[in-house]
Amino acid sequence: TGASARGTLVYLVGGGVTVGRPYSDMPIIGALAEWCQVEVIAPKYRLAPEYPAPSAANDCIAVWQEVAAASNSPLLLAGESAGGNLAVVLVQQALSRGLRRPDAMALLSPAVDLRTDLGLYEPTTYSDPTLSPLLPAEVLAAYGSGRDPTDPSLSPLFGPLADMPPTMITTGTRDMLLSMCLRFYRQLKRAGVDVECRVWDGLWHVFEYYDQYPESAESLKEISAFLNEKVRRAVLDSCDESK
């Protein structure tokens, strides 16, 4: 989707790697396509438990490899919740394979740590209307299929972070994954990554999905502005290198 596209954005939907399809995220996908003026590709990756890890990640990496090989234009990456997990895994795998890195990345409430220790999550979980405290264990059982949850292919928080692209993270004070998002932000910062984190007061997990709230559009506009600025800088840097 996206008219007069000036680049491509690969968007990875959420759903705990057990549910979710690209068409369900059209409010987010459509807004990013319009405000970033990009074509958006949202892969329909395989879902657990029928297809445990690393099936979904492998599907996303295969799509990225094909898109990157076919384009000299700006490439962006974004994902929400479990899709944010897959986005970070994708970048780590792309770098290890010598594939092109995204020019910038946006992560909406990314679930980058699949350990089930409830100390990792906000203690006021009841205030997040979208997530159950039981969900982490259910996702790990379905997608992890008995693997060590600190394996970077499951929890990219434990993978290499130093070469991540410019990244924007969004979350909310009622997001069950707020602590996780902030920890990931701090680790990216320590690794020297160009990263921003926006915490929205009173809002919950991937609130951008709910387009009836004005904050949804406001957040997506901020994300788009971040991505557009990083693309602009990447283009300028490329021009300087070619002189």
User: What is the spatial distance between Cα 23 and Cα 40, in angstroms, rounded to a whole number?
Assistant: 12
Question: For every one of its 243 residues, what pLDDT tens digit does the chain have, with 9 covering 90 and above?
Answer: 544 578 999 999 999 999 988 888 999 999 999 999 999 999 999 999 999 999 999 999 999 999 999 989 999 999 999 999 999 999 999 999 999 999 999 999 999 999 987 566 766 545 888 888 888 889 999 999 899 999 999 999 999 999 999 999 999 999 999 999 999 999 999 999 999 999 999 999 999 999 999 999 999 999 999 999 999 988 777 666 665
Amino acid of residue 3: A
- What number of helices (H) and strands (E) belong to the chain? 6, 6
Task: Please give the domain boundaries of the chain with CATH numbers for all domains.
Answer: 8-242 (3.40.50.1820)
Distances (CA, A) of 164 to 2, 92, 96, 105, 194: 26, 8, 12, 9, 8
